[in-house]
A and B are shown apart, each in its own frame.
Chain A
Amino acid sequence: MSTLYALLFYVATALLVVGTAIKIRTYARTPAPLKIPTTPAPTTRSGVFWRMFREIAFFESLFKSNKWIWLFGYMFHVALALILLRHFRYFTTGWFWVDWVQPFGVYASFAFVLGLAGLWARRFVVERIRYISSPSDHLMLALLLGIGLSGMGMKFVAKTDIVAVKVFFQGLMRFQINDLPTHPALLIHLGLVALLMIIFPISKLLHAPGVFFSPTRNQVDDPREKRHLAPWAAQLEK
């Protein structure tokens, strides 16, 4: 079992890293032929940086758009961030902020599940959102909820030997396979996480890198001052 999970995590990590890197490279290399920032837009690079920061840190556009989606979505994402930070303890030792963030990570799990439940409920309750949801949209929420609930199960219901888990993952980082506890919730939890990692670069989870490459958000509003020309468009001028 340990070997199976070790391999699973190697494969999942490789797919996640390589797949996402390829996608990011494609996004970065694809030219934006025209200046299309949604205006009013910042007129300087630092202004754009600030716009992106507000978008990523506060989901500014979503807030303007729909308070319920913002509430559930923001709750879920912030919780996810805290939980991820908390999980650094399986890979590191003695980093002060990892210790510091632990209790927040615990509370965050409730927000995580609540946020996801809210988003999922909207997929059933709100007619418009029900209309645009495909099976994968439901399954994605199920997957995340499964990860959250199995994780909480280990914290609040049937504890697992987290020291052994830490030994397992630190071992993986040094290419050794140590014993992984065969706690059912743990196996479910890790299996789902690996699945999530694998589908990341081939699913809508690409919104995470994608948002940085969105021309309507990341372009500077300076077309009159600076001539913007895509390489393929420059060919037309020859």
Chain B
Amino acid sequence: MAPLDTDKAQLDVRGPDGHPLEIPRLACGAMADLKSFPAAPEHQEALGFPGELVENWQEVAIAKMGELAQKNRAFQVYLDACVKCGACTDKCHYFLGTGDPKNMPVARQDLLRSVYRRYYTFAGKYFPWLVGARDLTREVLDEWYTYYHQCSQCRRCSVFCPYGIDTAEISMAAREIMDCVGVGQKYCNEIIGKVKAVGNNLGLNPKALGATLEGLEEDIEEETGISVRLPLDEKGADILLITPSADFFADPHIDGLIGYAKVFHEAGVSWTLSSYASEAANFGMFIGSYENMREVSLRIRQAALDLGVKRIVFGECGHAWRVAYSFLNTLAGPFDFLDQKYPVPQHILEFTWGEIQKGTLTFDKSKNDEFRLTYHDSCNVARGSRMGDMPGGQFEIPRNVLKAVCNHYFDMDRDTIMESTLCCGGGGGLLTDDLMDLRVKGSSPRMKALQQVTADHGVTHMAAICAICKSQFSKVMPKFGYEMDSILSVHQLVSNAIVLTGQNAGEDDADEAGED
């Protein structure tokens, strides 16, 4: 253990409110005016939804609600089973951060449950006042739009509900219903359109992508003196890497991508990216659209077939990993054409941890000594997926890798990590500037937990494995007294510490002219 950096340790940056899970007083209507930008007609239509509010929208919405109840057991059961016990009321980071009672999970569900009851249950039809049932009016629709776009579908509430009621399922259904009547959200729907048209959320075309990757190869060679490849569309490679497009573009994401490349290089496997499926993210989940989610997933299957790979590995992205781990086999399977010796799909951390255990990777941990680290469990990885063979591998493996590559690691408060992790505040399709107020407030519980470990252990940086988390934190961290680059990719740390075969360890800017 290195001596504690006393400067940092004494600096108490905790806010006046103290504990990250402190329950606020109710502030009715506090967030009622924050509306995410609605989708333009062309964004709606590209996804097969009506361009604007349809004439008979009430009818359509109510019918859709009935259809979802028949198609999705979770929706059906969760609308019936809630007993209003209140156990979930203080579990949502958006409630903790805003105090708006409609951001309490049960109240968020009730926005839709009240309408479902009115049209689909005996009590709601005949005694609406008794069970809080209400007609579907324009006001109600607007309220749905507001508050179902203040849920990051993080599922923290579902961990704590005695019946496992998952508000994310209700939010997804609500967004699907809204899309079907013509009121979708700009951010999500525009992005899904881009994936369908170009192959990734950023709208990065194959040429630009190729150029980016070449640039990275040069950077790595310059830095290490070793030629590490980042292949694109290489037929016959063993591994297809599917990674969020942010990895091609933004800090700290891109350093993570360099990390994957170095790990693959050292492991001696052949791999490739695909320009057709150049996106791990799948916003189809956020809007609750099975069809859109499936269409986006099928691109990955197609790319795997076209490139003739044997394995699929996913890069660092939270909801992408949930869709990949939990849904890909359903949506785009069966994957019997891939090598069955490996899980389909595999997470890059499963790959890296496997290599570490095999002993193929050499690290110089001191390269990360400038960081005192903690790790943010991303919601979708923590509560909607797994890594490795054992339940909870999604918590162990990232931490194992971090501890293998750095010397100073500290966990945040147990009630704010692992299955109880707090959302970054920007998940679920909320990572848009028009929701910035919500994003900052929603991140405050996580930020307070970080401030605690900063105060107690001098933690300076936080690592994450989700593109959304990373983007969100680099935006909001400055508001809580951290630099915007205090958020790191896990594979960025791997990249820092890894000593490539043939590389002169210990020398930072090894200048090995003549190599290659």
Question: Is A31 in contact with B132, judged by CB distance below 8 angstroms?
Answer: no
Distance in Å: Cβ of A201 to nearest Cβ of chain B:
9
Interface residue? B85 (CB, 8 A)? yes
Interface residue? B89 (CB, 8 A)? yes
Interface residue? B344 (CB, 8 A)? yes
Interface residue? B94 (CB, 8 A)? no
Interface residue? A160 (CB, 8 A)? no
Closest Cβ neighbor of B89 among chain A residues: A128
Interface residue? B250 (CB, 8 A)? no
**Which of B71-79, B228-236, B357-365, B435-443 has 4 or more CB atoms under 8 Å from chain A?**
B71-79
Chain A residues with CB under 8 Å of B2's CB are none
Chain A residues with CB under 8 Å of B155's CB are 38, 216
Question: Which of B81, B130, B419 has most chain A Cβ within 10 Å?
Answer: B81
Interface residue? A187 (CB, 8 A)? no
Contact check: which of B71, B91, B161 meets A33 at CB < 8 Å?
Answer: B71
Contact check: which of A40, A61, A203 meets B123 at CB < 8 Å?
Answer: A203
Beyond A33-B72, A136-B123, whether A214 also contacts B81 by CB under 8 A is: yes
**Which of A65-73, A98-106, A174-182 has 4 or more CB atoms under 8 Å from chain B?**
A65-73
Complex Cα spacing A39 to B158, Å: 10
Contact check: which of A40, A126, A135, A202 meets B86 at CB < 8 Å?
Answer: A126
What bracket does the count of chain A residues touching chain B fall in? 35 or more
Chain B residues with CB under 8 Å of A228's CB are 329-330
Q: Mark A52-84, 1 if CB is under 8 A from B, else 0.
A: 000100010110111001000100000000000
Complex Cα spacing A127 to B290, Å: 38
Distance in Å: Cβ of A234 to nearest Cβ of chain B:
10
Closest Cβ neighbor of B70 among chain A residues: A30
Question: Which of A43, A214, A215, A229 has most chain B Cβ within 10 Å?
Answer: A214
Question: Is A27 in contact with B101, judged by CB distance below 8 angstroms?
Answer: no
B 84-120 contacts with A by CB, 8 A: 84-91, 101, 104, 106-107, 110
Question: Is A36 in contact with B104, judged by CB distance below 8 angstroms?
Answer: no
Complex Cα spacing A4 to B165, Å: 40
Contact check: which of B71, B85, B333, B392 meets A227 at CB < 8 Å?
Answer: B333
Question: Is A202 in contact with B122, judged by CB distance below 8 angstroms?
Answer: yes
Interface residue? B492 (CB, 8 A)? no
Question: Is B104 in contact with A30, judged by CB distance below 8 angstroms?
Answer: no
**Which of A87-95, A107-115, A204-212 has 4 or more CB atoms under 8 Å from chain B?**
A204-212
Interface residue? B80 (CB, 8 A)? yes
Chain A residues with CB under 8 Å of B80's CB are 23, 204, 206-207, 210
**Which of A151-159, A163-171, A189-197, A217-225 has 4 or more CB atoms under 8 Å from chain B?**
A217-225
Interface residue? A134 (CB, 8 A)? yes
Beyond A59-B162, A131-B26, A131-B104, whether A38 also contacts B383 by CB under 8 A is: yes
Chain A residues with CB under 8 Å of B76's CB are 26-27, 30
B 276-294 contacts with A by CB, 8 A: 290-291, 294
B 380-415 contacts with A by CB, 8 A: 382-386, 389-392, 394-395
Complex Cα spacing A30 to B72, Å: 6
Interface residue? A13 (CB, 8 A)? no
Question: Is A36 in contact with B82, judged by CB distance below 8 angstroms?
Answer: no
Beyond A61-B160, A69-B86, A216-B164, whether A132 also contacts B104 by CB under 8 A is: yes
Closest Cβ neighbor of A55 among chain B residues: B162
Complex Cα spacing A55 to B165, Å: 13
Closest Cβ neighbor of A204 among chain B residues: B83
Closest Cβ neighbor of A41 among chain B residues: B391
Interface residue? A11 (CB, 8 A)? no
Interface residue? B238 (CB, 8 A)? no
* 8 closest residue pairs by CB, A with B: A210-B81, A216-B164, A134-B132, A40-B391, A65-B160, A129-B86, A217-B164, A128-B89
* Chain A residues near B (Cβ < 8 Å): 23, 26-27, 30-36, 38-43, 55, 59, 61-62, 64-66, 69, 73, 119, 122, 126-129, 131-137, 139, 199, 202-204, 206-207, 210-211, 213-217, 221, 223-224, 226-230, 232-233, 236
